Amino acid sequence: MILEDTHYDAFISYRHTEPDMFAAQTLHKELEAFRLPRNLIKKLQPGDAVKTRIRRVFRDQDELPISCDLKEPILHALQNSDFLIVICTPRLPQSLWCRTEIEQFIAMHGRERVLAVLAEGEPEESFPEQLRYIEQDGQRKEVEPLAADIRAANRKEMRKKIRLETLRLAAPMFGCGYDDLRQRHRERRLRRMAAVGAAVAAVCFVFGAVSTVMAMRIGAQSKQIADQKSQIEAQYTQALKANAETQAAEALRILETGDRLTAVKTALAVMPGPENEEQPYTAKAQYALTQSLGVYESGVRVLPKHTLNHEAALSFMTVSPGGTRLLTGDGYGKLYVWDALEGTLLFETDDLFKINLSPSTAGFLDEDRIYYPVSTGLGVYDLSARQEDAIDLGGSYESARMNGGHSSLIVTNAARAIVFNAEDLLPRRVFLLPENTGWDTDAVLDERGERAAVLWKTSSDFFEETTHINIFHVDTGELFAAYTLEGENAEQLTFSGDDLLLTAFARSSDMTYTQELRCYDTQSENLRWSQRKTSLDFFIPFAFEESRLVLAASYDKLTVLRQDTGETLGQILYPAAVVGVFPEENERYAGVRLRNGEYHYLNFSDMSDLNMSGANGFKAVPENLQQAVMGNGYLASYDHNATDVVIHATAAGSRAEVLMETDGYLKNMLVKNDESAVLLVNSSSLTALDPVKNEVLFQQQMDEPIVAAAYLGDAQEEIAVAFPHSLALLDAATGEIKDARQLEGTDLTVLQFSQDGAQFALVQPWEISVYDTRTGELLTQDGRLSQLTAGACAVSEDLSLYAAACPDQKELQIFHLGGEKMVLSIPLNAACVQYVALCKDANRLYVTYLDGKAEAYSLSKGTLLKTYTSLPFELRQARRIPGGAVLLAGPEGACVTDQQGELLALLDAPCAALTKSGLYLTAGNGRLLSFPIYDASMLRKEAQALLDKTERTAP
């Protein structure tokens, strides 16, 4: 086909991205299928030949031949086209090719033959300048092109709009008005329908009797088919829902392994959206995506952030001096360098099976350079310059170690030990080793790089091995001290101040071993002390300002020793092997990571142990840890035989905003009805905040501990504040105390205000009393239950009902407060009930058991509605929030559920919902934060942004 001779009714110009391509392709098909109504043909040119259809539309993917030069075919197509249709999106003005097509067409045919189609975005960002401006009388004038609007939420809706807007685009092509074309098009459809109706009526009239019988039969069959279709559709929808819930559970399981990115992809795949129109919505999928994205995290919890994937099982990892980068090695002998927090791979070695890769042969010179063994000597890679160099040592080396200050590197092989200046890698000192030295050599430097301990071994036979250790002054080469360990093998050599610490192994002829942890005074060359161990996995010297300690790990036991005397200060026995110890420099404790993933704090002052595994998400994902290291703002760990490193870090939502710093423990948050103020209640003060302007309205310090508070009345011009033995009324605008009075009774178990603050209830062990907040008048008193247990008794928000767990009757009983009869009883193991929460607005009753399990019951029927087995907090309060959701809260957290009780989100407590502003407020880690209330659409965008960012940063 010769394109130069082909005539086109229109030329479609568009970007080759989505949804631009979809719009262009759909419009192309609609235009070429369009026919001009017959009655309009006669009206336009009676008796003459007239254009009746759009015969050909140019779109490059359908019309262009395979060619290496697109310029000439495009120019010919533009020249031979009557109209130019431009698919306008925010991406189109960025395309030089599309702008050139528009300029060329205007030059050939004029602006009046350019038609715009707005497919996405607003006109000012989607229309190119060639369509928005003209040059008139030497001045640039803004114009508005003729445009069809096909913007829609998904492809299905866009397709409908294109069918409607085709008339608007076709009208100028036929030289008629849009209204005429629309009216004639409608008349043609009506005539067709009338003709079809008349034909059907005639057939029905002629064959009336027969068709009636057949119609009855067909009607029955049609109903049967329709019922079967409905059943199939319902089954299909149910299958999609079941699959979505299964995938959501799988996403949460993947999240627990630390692979957050895969969890996001898995949950996103079963969320309804433009690319997944048939997928029905499920709360479980939304919850899984919410959790995987961590959109409501406030920076309090340490959670898995992402995984670093390797080709083979990991062998070691080490952290850069600044803690931002991670060096890992795998079983194939490959090295990898990662930006740990970003999860991006910065470098990997090209060749496999590097020589003797281990923490004693490879590491960081500084934040930008790594070292590792190569066949000729020492390999160095500069991450900033992306350059690999090598220092020729005449062969590979046995060990290479940096000093603590990262100023020097010492490298050993069978012939010598060389100290390099880390900055320029020039040799500082070379120590020659005896000729009979084997390859089992090692060396370490002290913290400042001033002294070097060089180790080599000799043996007379298989069982007689002697270790030699010489300590040299690096700058002068002077021999400082020398040690000979007859018949022993020394390992894990390190300096600690002026002392040399090492482990010594001795092997007897019957193949039994003895092991000692030794401390040598290098000033006097004397052995300070030794401790015999049945096994010793590793030790860590730890310096206090006034003394030094040694932490020795022997599988599941950690021993703390004084470095100067070797005295045992304490021992801690753990439930699993000790994998890593992380001393805090200026603190008197250390973090201890166990093989089962638990995290413990060891307090040196009293040798006590605190298990932190459940606090703030410190529990590591793997349960058979091989190694764990601390970086700058993250923890890296991997399991035995694992190919993935899991990065843990404090988690924070991408759109979380800090509104203010808070003093002390925040007990509660109250929101005014008009959402103009939020009242922050802590143990002894009140703070009112304008959440829109983020301004503090007032702050009031109290003389007594605050028990509860509430906005008072419909106008909410006052605040009621209850203390252990008194009650005060405050001005809601200024926080000034207007009135105060004493409360009757002592030993108050629970004080609860009604939702409008007009009344308050005192729940005491023997009765429940309801008072008028303003006057203090006793309104109702209920003492029918002889014993009300704190927590296992709850009062509704309007103070009309109360529920109490009754162990004697083995049930939960609900009463009208002050009424005569029991409203409802729910059989359950009341002796195991820990807390009860009642929400009359949502018709829900929540029970939390001692084992942490929680149940939701219908308040009207007493039927079990939902069971929660994994809430990470004790459920103590329940309240309805605008929009039909329910907010469940406890001291350590909160969650939002939908009307069916399905989890939608987990948040920190206390929290509040500002539905007018579309925000959740939470308090955590001494800060008040705001989060957008994410719906399914917002979550999809958040997930896609994360995936796009990951693709852009992938190596």
DSSP structure string for 671-725? E-TTSS-EEEEESSEEEEEETTTTEEEEEEE-SS---EEEEETTT--EEEEE-SS
Closest-CA residue to 569 (of 600, 591, 548, 594): 548
776-802 mean pLDDT: 87
Confidence of residue 206 (pLDDT cuts 50, 70, 90): low
pLDDT above 70: residue 62:
no
Pair of tokens at residue 422:
């880390």
What confidence score (pLDDT) does residue 386 get? 92
pLDDT above 80: residue 65:
no
pLDDT above 90: residue 231:
no
d(CA 755, CA 912): 14
* β-strand partners of 35: 53
571-595 mean pLDDT: 84
Closest-CA residue to 10 (of 51, 68, 70, 69): 51
pLDDT above 90: residue 814:
yes
What confidence score (pLDDT) does residue 2 get? 45
Average pLDDT, the chain: 85
Confidence of residue 212 (pLDDT cuts 50, 70, 90): low
What confidence score (pLDDT) does residue 395 get? 86
What confidence score (pLDDT) does residue 198 get? 45
What confidence score (pLDDT) does residue 210 get? 61
223-250 mean pLDDT: 87
- Contact partners, residue 751, CB within 8 Å, separation at least 6: 707, 708, 722, 760, 761, 762, 763
pLDDT digits (tens, 9 = 90+) for 454-501: 999 887 665 567 889 999 999 999 998 999 988 888 888 999 999 999
557-575 mean pLDDT: 91
pLDDT digits (tens, 9 = 90+) for 760-784: 998 888 888 899 999 889 999 998 8
What confidence score (pLDDT) does residue 66 get? 41
| Cβ burial, residue 950 (10 Å; 0-12/13-18/19+) | middle
What confidence score (pLDDT) does residue 226 get? 80
Residue 810's SS3 state is coil
Q: What letter represents residue 318's amino acid?
A: T
pLDDT above 80: residue 43:
no
CB 669 within 8 A of CB 676: no
pLDDT digits (tens, 9 = 90+) for 909-948: 899 999 889 999 998 778 899 999 999 999 999 999 988 8
pLDDT above 80: residue 194:
no
pLDDT digits (tens, 9 = 90+) for 700-733: 999 889 999 999 988 899 999 998 888 999 999 9
- Answer whether 0.85 is exceeded by the pTM: no
What confidence score (pLDDT) does residue 930 get? 93
d(CA 384, CA 764): 69
Q: Which of 47-51, 230-234, 306-310 has the lowest mean pLDDT?
A: 47-51
pLDDT digits (tens, 9 = 90+) for 240-249: 999 999 999 9
Percent helix, percent strand, percent coil in the chain, to nearest 5: 20, 40, 35
Residue 312's SS3 state is coil
What confidence score (pLDDT) does residue 478 get? 93
Q: What letter represents residue 513's amino acid?
A: Y
CB 801 within 8 A of CB 840: yes
Q: To which residue do tokens 């907090």 refer?
A: 873
CB 760 within 8 A of CB 753: yes
Q: What letter represents residue 94's amino acid?
A: Q
- Contact partners, residue 15, CB within 8 Å, separation at least 6: 21, 87, 89, 91, 92, 94, 95, 98
